[in-house]
Chains A and B, each alone.
Chain A
């Protein structure tokens, strides 16, 4: 059974770059789609983007200019890089996988990101 675990700094300064990593256990990252989804405090879910195991990426148009998702097969991890963060980027960030296109069926527990000024 696949399990995902996010890791990251917890606190990021405004205008700096947020970097998060998701470690995949119980299976190989060399298949499926690998997603990042976030949730601002008290708000709904926002899909950030994903990477297919082949390396193809798809990003939300609203974040595309600031987002990079990459895969490290040697470590069975994938990562999120979000540049020029503001307070609007604070919230819980989830990594998740889609064995089938469009269906986010396995989620990490989420990691909380605070943006300081």
Chain B
């Protein structure tokens, strides 16, 4: 099975900060990675698919990159609506999610 890790588990930041979250796979998954945002009590929403493609409706301050085993999600300038938990998800083999990164207020 492919295991996913994320770092950091919690990230404290301020509005306007540039924020980067890292996701790693236990084996190469190519570009078979997506990113989701989840706010408390709500279903997740898709942000990025196929490693770097921005989902329609997602703000352009979100970007992502990577290939193989290491991936990053970047928020160029953190906005109040961005405080949430972010999950990566691989779909090379059986699908599974990373453990999540919570972005909270510094």
Contact = CB atoms under 8 A, between A and B. Distances in A.
A61 B49 contact: no
A109 B41 CA distance: 9
Interface residues of A, number: 22
Interface string B37-51: 010000111100110
Contacts, number: 59
A61 B2 CA distance: 11
B50 to A, nearest CB: 8
A105 B45 CA distance: 7
A58 interface: yes
A91 interface: no
Given A47-B95, A58-B94, A61-B1, A105 B46 contact: yes
Interface stretch (A65-73, A81-89, A95-103): A95-103
A102 B95 CA distance: 7
Contacts of A44: 87, 97-100
A9 B43 CA distance: 19
Interface in B60-106: 87, 89, 91, 94-100
Interface of B: 1, 32, 34, 36, 38, 43-46, 49-50, 55, 87, 89, 91, 94-100
Interface of A: 35, 44-47, 50, 58-61, 94, 96, 100-105, 107-110
